[in-house]
Amino acid sequence: MQKMPPSSKDNGAPAGEDAGDPRARFGIVALVGRPNAGKSTLLNRILGQKVAIVSPKPQTTRNRIVGILNEPRGQIAFLDTPGIHKPLHKLNVRMMEHVRTALSEADILAVMIDASAPFGHGDEFVLEMLRAQKNKRFAVLNKIDLLKKSKLLPLIQQYSETGLFDEIVPVSATTGDGVVELTELLFKNLPAGEAQYPSEDFTTQPERFFAAEIVREKLLRHTSEELPYTTAVAVERWEEEEEKNLIKIYATIVVERETQKPIVIGKHGSMIKTIGTEAREELEAILGAKVFLDLHVAVHQHWRDDQRFLGELEWPLGEK
Ligand SMILES: Nc1nc2c(ncn2[C@@H]2O[C@H](COP(=O)(O)OP(=O)(O)OP(=O)(O)O)[C@@H](O)[C@H]2O)c(=O)[nH]1
Ligand SMILES: [Mg+2]
C-alpha cells in the first residue's frame, strides 16, 4: 500500500501557526463504520469524483482508499475503509487491518452510521472499538433521505448521550443533503498545515487498481448470493498505445469454485459481456481514452486465505 504522510498531529504545526496561508488546513479524516453505511458514496460525493466503488452489498470496499479534497481553505485526505465486521478469512483480517491503520493515522474519525437501519450488535461493536481511540470523532448519520423527520432528533439525542462524539452531523450521501455543512465542520476541526499531496491529485490509487475495482463493481451489481464475497478481480496486464489513445487492460475474475464460473460467464457469455461493456464504458469516461478490456474467469479455491494472492490484489505490481 502507498504510505500516508505523517498525520498532521505529528507535523509540529499547531492550529494557526503554519508557514503558508495561515488559514490553510491539512488533516486526515478516516471514514469508518459498518458495512453498507455509505462511506464510499460519501467520499465520492465530497470529492465530486468517483474514487471508490459502491454497491448495495456489504463488504464492497476491501482496501483503504485515499481520496484527496483540495480547496483554497486547505486539503483533506479522506481514508475510505472497509466496513467493520468480524473476520472469517484472511481477506477479512486484512480488511480490518486497513481499518485499524486508518484509525491510527486519522486526525478525525468520521463514523458513518446508516440512520435508516435499527441500532444493533454491529453498531455496539463499532462504538466499543471507538471508545479506545483518542482521535476527534464525528458521528455522521447517513441516509436521512430514508428517514422520517420525526425520527432524526431522537437519533441525534441517542448518539449524543454516548458521550463519544465531538460532532453529530446528519447527511444524505445520495442527495448531498448536509454534506457542505459536514465539510465545513471538518475543516474547522483540522489543524493548520500545509497540503501533503499535489493539489491536482484526488487519489493515490493506481489506475490499474481502480480498473479492477470498476470491474468488481459491475460484478457485484449483476451477481447475487455468495458470489460478491467469493470473487476478486486482478488486472494482469496494462498496455498503452499512446498514438491511438488506447489502453488495453487484461483482467481476471477469480472465483472459488468451478460451479461459480458459468454464473459469471452467463448464458452464451452474456453475463461477462454485460460486466465487460459496463466496465469498459465507465473506464473510457474516467481515463479519457479508448479502452480494450479483456476479461477471463479463473478458479482459485482458497484465494480468500492465500496471503500472497491477497497482497497482489491490494496493490498491483505496476506503478500505474
Ligand atoms: N438512500 C440512500 N442510500 C445510500 C446513501 N448512501 C449510500 N447509500 C446506498 O447504500 C449502499 C452502500 O453504499 P456504499 O457507499 O457502498 O457503502 P459503504 O459503507 O462504503 O459499504 P462497504 O464498502 O461495504 O463497507 C449503496 O447501495 C448506496 O447507494 C444515502 O444517503 N441514501
Ligand atoms: Mg465502501
Ligand 1: residue whose CA is nearest its atom 12: 36
Residue 272, C-alpha cell as written in the block: 461477462
Q: Interior CA angle at 311 toward 305 and 317, to 5°? A: 145
pLDDT of residue 113: 97
Quick one: which ligand is closest to 112's CA? 1
Determine the average pLDDT of the residues in 231-254: 97
Strands 74-80 and 25-33: parallel
Evaluate if pTM is beyond 0.85. yes
Ligand 1: residue whose CA is nearest its atom 7: 38
Q: Which among 1, 41, 213 is positioned nearest to 142, based on CA atoms?
A: 41
Residue with the bigger pLDDT between 285 and 21: it is 285
Confidence label for 26 from pLDDT (cuts 50, 70 and 90): very high
Q: Which residue has the cell 460486466?
A: 275
Residue 208 corresponds to which amino acid? R
Burial class (CB in 10 A: 0-12, 13-18, 19+), 43: buried
- Residue of 47, 54, 78, 84 to test ligand 1 pocket, by largest number of atoms within 8 Å of CB: 54
Q: Note whether 264 and 255 are within 8 A (CB).
A: yes
Q: What value does the mean pLDDT of the chain take?
A: 91
Quick one: which ligand is closest to 82's CA? 1
Residue 105, C-alpha cell as written in the block: 493515522
Instruction: Tell which atom from ligand 1 comes closest to the C-alpha of 142.
Output: 31
The answer on pLDDT for 84 being more than 50 is: yes
Pocket of ligand 1 (CB under 6 A): 35-41, 54-56, 58-61, 82-83, 112, 142-143, 145-146, 172-174
Residue 130, C-alpha cell as written in the block: 471507538
pLDDT tens digits, one per residue of 273-318 = 999 999 999 999 999 999 999 999 999 999 999 999 999 988 643 3
Residue with the bigger pLDDT between 207 and 5: it is 207
